[in-house]
A = this chain, B = another copy of it.
Amino acid sequence: MPEESIMKKAMQRYIDGFNQKDAKALISLFANNAKIEDPVGGGKIVEGIEAITAFYELAVTLVDKLELAAPIRGSHSNAAAMAFTIFMKDEGQTIRINCIDVMTFNESGKIIDMKAYHGPSDVMEQ
């Protein structure tokens, strides 16, 4: 099980990777067989490193910045969670999305599962 500090550092790198528009840094945080559900219930699972690569290569072009809303939380197992705000473009409009990500990690400290909690009521025009 990865140390809490390793999971929290990976999640901070996730925030930093977006803010530096560094898709490679983001992709390197994930295991080859990782799964992403963003948003939860959105009906689409991004699975495997190829799909994840395409997902973040596009995402960094749409996201202006991520801002942590509170300190990253760990757990007593291989999961951690963080609340943050996404500032991004959506069909020409700049929007803000309140989000909480829950990430699960493998033994090597790579993300194997990511779930992003945000719904229609969490999206605001800026």
Contacts and interface: CB of A to CB of B under 8 A. Distances in A.
A113 interface: no
Interface stretch (A23-31, A35-43, A47-55): A35-43
Interface residues of A, number: 33
A74 B111 CA distance: 23
A39 B76 contact: yes
Nearest to A71: B98
Q: How many copies does the complex hold?
A: 2
A100 B75 CA distance: 10
Nearest to A120: B4
30 contacts: A4-B120, A8-B121, A39-B76, A40-B77, A41-B75, A41-B76, A41-B77, A41-B79, A42-B76, A69-B69, A69-B70, A70-B70, A70-B85, A70-B98, A71-B98, A71-B122, A73-B83, A73-B118, A74-B117, A74-B118, A74-B120, A74-B121, A75-B118, A75-B119, A76-B119, A76-B120, A80-B117, A81-B81, A82-B83, A100-B102
